[in-house]
Amino acid sequence: MQIYIDTASIEDIRAASDMGVLDGVTTNPSLVAKEGVDFHDRLKEICDVVPGPVSAEVVSTESDGMLEEAKPLLEIADNIVIKLPCTVDGLRACKHLSSNGVRVNMTLCFQPLQAMLAAKAGAFLISPFLGRLDDLGQDSMDLIQQIRTIYDNYGYETKVLAASVRHPMHLVECALVGADVATVPFKVIQQMMNHPLTDSGLKKFLDDWAAMNTPSSG
């Protein structure tokens, strides 16, 4: 499973990239606004750090506006992916862009038929949101499994990108049901390598090594 980071913090992106496991980035105007920087400038910085797909989200709600917004975004770098909402207008814009060789991430997916139509429109990524479904008492993994089954049944090449990931267990479950990608905050990436038994085991090895190499008195 590929790992993307969901942020606009260039510091977190560099730190995740330095770990050697980062495959891409997702971001949006809200995340960039928190950083207090220009949207296009920050996307350029991100693309300079990460060679993998970088999803850049539009804010227009009509297809014509989405296509106009996409033009300057695509000029930023070759690895920009246009991020569109799972709406009828988003679907129209996706079909137009994908037919012209542009990679599209269809976001805010909450049911399998949205995912099927996005795949038929040529989407590169479909982004079902896990945490927001869990907040409503629904099992978000059911959605991932349904999308995976539909895509496998019909040979759709669209990648399933698990979004709104809240904790490491989401990642374990996504990997088990076959999500292609998960996009996560930096804190979750850090948590992936944490376990108290690893820490205690390492401490014991180091303590034993230090004791073995400490000269005895007398």
Please give the chain's pLDDT, 218 residues, in tens. Answer: 999 999 999 999 999 999 999 999 999 888 998 999 999 999 999 999 999 999 999 999 999 999 999 999 999 999 999 999 999 999 999 999 999 999 999 999 999 999 999 999 999 999 999 988 878 888 889 999 999 999 999 999 999 999 999 889 999 999 999 999 999 999 999 998 888 888 888 888 888 888 888 876 65
Calpha distance 70→193 (Å, rounded): 37
Per-residue DSSP letters for 77-104? -TTEEEEEESSHHHHHHHHHHHHTT--E
The DSSP symbol for 52 reads: S
pLDDT recorded at residue 216 = 67
Of 114, 110, 106, which Cα lies nearest the Cα of 128?
110
Neighbours of 43 (CB within 10 A): 23
Evaluate whether 84 touches 94 at the Cβ level (below 8 Å): yes
In CATH terms, 2-192 corresponds, of 3.40.50.2300, 3.20.20.70, 3.90.550.10, 3.30.479.10, to 3.20.20.70
By annotation, the residues acting in catalysis are 83
Extents of the domains making up the chain: 2-192
- Between helix 63-74 and helix 39-49 the angle, nearest 10°, is 50
pLDDT recorded at residue 218 = 54
pLDDT recorded at residue 131 = 80
Calpha distance 24→51 (Å, rounded): 7
